[in-house]
Chains A and B, each alone.
Chain A
Amino acid sequence: MGIKILMTVCMLPVLPIIYFVMKSEGTFRKNIVLGTTLPNEAQRDDDVLAIIRSFKRMLNQVGLGLLLMIIPAFFLEHSSIIIAYFLNWLVVVILLPYIPYVKHHNQLKRLKAASGWKTSKDQVRVVDLDAAKATYKKLSIQWLILPAFISLLPVINTIINLEDQLIAPLVVYVTNLLVNIIVIIIYGIIFKQRTEMIDANTDLSISLTRMRKYHWSKFWLMMTWFTSLFSLALWPFNSSQAILIISVIYSTLVALIAITTELNVRNVQHKLSRGSGKDFYVDEDDLWIKGIFYFNPNDHHLFVNARVGFNTSVNLAKSAGKAFVLIGLISMLSLPILSFWIIAEEFTPISIELTDNKLVGRHLSEEFSISIDQLQDIQLIKSLPNKYKISGTGFKTLSKGSFNVEGYGQCELLLNPQDDLFISFVYQGEQYIISRGDQAKTQELYKLLIH
């Protein structure tokens, strides 16, 4: 039950996040709705409003369906299947809401062409020279360097005092440090995004731009500080449970401030641009594929303001833009592949054999191959003491990797915790505990090892 609750707590929040962000695409802001630029008169057009209503209805149905899809997970038994189910559910949650979005975007685009509202010429770029001269307050770099320096401290300390059980936390510290460094590098690039120009109103363009830069600068600042605090919070603890709990808290906080920032920005954009689009308005629809992906070979920018989703998108016309999207796609599609591997982890039987005077332990791949002449202190254990995982795999029927075992300290395990008999031994100063699944087979192996 614990794993079901944990996965639900970690994964379920993604659904309302995506639902509310997608739902707000059905609200006019900057003369754009459902990724389509329309004149002001269209905001009161019956056909447009009908398409928006239909989109929201379909999105509600998709959202409800996705929520109900969680229920079967509570009837599943095996941890790996539960995890696999949630991972695949997550991919579906990310992708499925785009179906009502794309469907209604296409309808709106056809209506736009039929109503003669199409004004864009795809290779024209409009620049407001007066708005371009405006200056905006940029976050001072030292406010970003300081949290990066703080997140460096646990890295240095762990490297100096490195032991096996600190490798997993070290990975987290290094990741956090890299996150902060990347934010320092890209903040300047993202801050230089173009003025938010939606019509000829210079003051409106400046206000929209200033508001966006202000809110997202605040987000980047908070994110770097949360990331360094994440490292500091983890510092006193070494266990994978601590990493998991603190990671969940950190991810939740960052997600919350990202969503709050994006929804605040959208709300202000909606209010400020309410009266826009009556005469001239900027229409760059032809540069956006389905209103989602920006493709403009005449624009040298890599990062652009996103139309759908959070803050920033990439220019697909640039190789780096393609690479970003590809990496994102691969990351997302690797989740179903990962789920197969997790299931294989749980259901593949452990193999421990004596071959050519070597004790070979296998589970999916070779875990160890040890000369039996070097084994020391071989013992038979009738009941496995309490343990907690440092790194590796821990299912009900599989413990593989580094564990802290009561009375034994740090051990390498390859066993089924539900077995009745185990073999412990020391090899090159490292404590091992193994089992063969079957009590008789374990007993047999023990006899072979001691002789």
Chain B
Amino acid sequence: MLLRIDFSDETPIYMQIRNHIVSGIGSGLYKPGDKLPTIRTLANEAGINMMTVSKAYQVLKHEGYIYSNRRSGAVISSDLPTAIGIDPKIKTHLKHLLLEAKVQGSSLDDILAYCKEVFDSEGGK
């Protein structure tokens, strides 16, 4: 899977990495048990600081998306986080995005169609 790091984006790089991996899990490109590159390798490939990659992996570990140990490195967790309804943090983000889409004139039907498209992609629940 291709990770795109946009240095001009306001989103911190570690969050871009985190978001990419979570999206990959959601779309089924990353499955439980899949190994991620080591911190050193990913930092070298992306040309970024190892601390940045380490922070991304720490966030993912804290959120329960990955686990890591010395032998296996970072691995996609088989025990992914679940929420009843919508996770409050996701709800907040979603609300901002929906309101922005509304301001820009997107219709509810278009938004719902897109949501369905994302959910229906491989690995969507």
Residues of chain A whose beta carbon lies under 8 Å from any beta carbon of chain B: 121, 123-130, 132-133, 192, 194-195, 200, 280, 296, 298-301
Contact of A132 with B41 at beta-carbon distance under 8 Å, contacts A125-B47, A127-B46 already known: yes
B106 within 8 A of A: no
B59 within 8 A of A: no
B113 within 8 A of A: no
- Whether B6 contacts A123 by the Cβ 8 Å rule is yes
- Whether B6 contacts A130 by the Cβ 8 Å rule is no
Contact of B49 among A129, A194, A300 (CB under 8 A): A300
Main secondary structure of the interface of B (DSSP, over half): mixed
- Whether A130 contacts B1 by the Cβ 8 Å rule is yes
Q: What is the CB-to-nearest-CB distance from A47 to chain B, in angstroms, rounded to a whole number?
A: 30
The tally of CB-CB contacts under 8 A between chains A and B is 61
B78 within 8 A of A: no
By a CB distance below 8 angstroms, the chain A residues around B2 are 126-129, 200, 280
Q: What are 21 A-B residue pairs whose CB atoms fall within 8 Å in the complex? A: A121-B6, A123-B7, A124-B7, A124-B8, A125-B4, A125-B5, A125-B47, A126-B2, A126-B3, A127-B3, A127-B5, A127-B45, A128-B1, A128-B45, A129-B2, A129-B36, A129-B37, A194-B45, A298-B48, A300-B49, A301-B44
Provide the B28-49 mask, 1 if CB < 8 A to any CB of A, else 0.
0000000111000110111111
Q: What is the CB-to-nearest-CB distance from A192 to chain B, in angstroms, rounded to a whole number?
A: 6
Q: What is the CB-to-nearest-CB distance from B77 to chain A, in angstroms, rounded to a whole number?
A: 17
Contact of A125 among B1, B7, B49 (CB under 8 A): B7
Which 5 A-B residue pairings sit nearest by Cβ, starting from the closest?
A299-B47, A123-B7, A123-B8, A132-B37, A298-B7
The distance in angstroms between the C-alpha atoms of A233 and B70, with both chains bound, is 50
Interface residues on chain B, number (Cβ under 8 Å): 19
Q: What is the CB-to-nearest-CB distance from B72 to chain A, in angstroms, rounded to a whole number?
A: 12
Contact of B37 among A124, A125, A133, A192 (CB under 8 A): A133
By a CB distance below 8 angstroms, the chain A residues around B4 are 124-126
The distance in angstroms between the C-alpha atoms of A132 and B74, with both chains bound, is 14
- Whether B42 contacts A132 by the Cβ 8 Å rule is yes
The distance in angstroms between the C-alpha atoms of A114 and B49, with both chains bound, is 37
The distance in angstroms between the C-alpha atoms of A123 and B49, with both chains bound, is 16
Interface residues of B in 41-97 (CB under 8 A from A): 41-42, 44-49
Q: What is the CB-to-nearest-CB distance from B76 to chain A, in angstroms, rounded to a whole number?
A: 12
The distance in angstroms between the C-alpha atoms of A133 and B8, with both chains bound, is 26
By a CB distance below 8 angstroms, the chain A residues around B47 are 125, 194, 296, 298-301
Q: What is the CB-to-nearest-CB distance from A296 to chain B, in angstroms, rounded to a whole number?
A: 7
By a CB distance below 8 angstroms, the chain A residues around B37 are 129, 132-133
By a CB distance below 8 angstroms, the chain B residues around A128 are 1-3, 45
By a CB distance below 8 angstroms, the chain A residues around B42 are 127, 129, 132
Q: What is the CB-to-nearest-CB distance from A440 to chain B, in angstroms, rounded to a whole number?
A: 74
The distance in angstroms between the C-alpha atoms of A132 and B73, with both chains bound, is 14
By a CB distance below 8 angstroms, the chain A residues around B5 are 124-127
By a CB distance below 8 angstroms, the chain A residues around B7 are 123-125, 298
By a CB distance below 8 angstroms, the chain B residues around A123 are 6-8
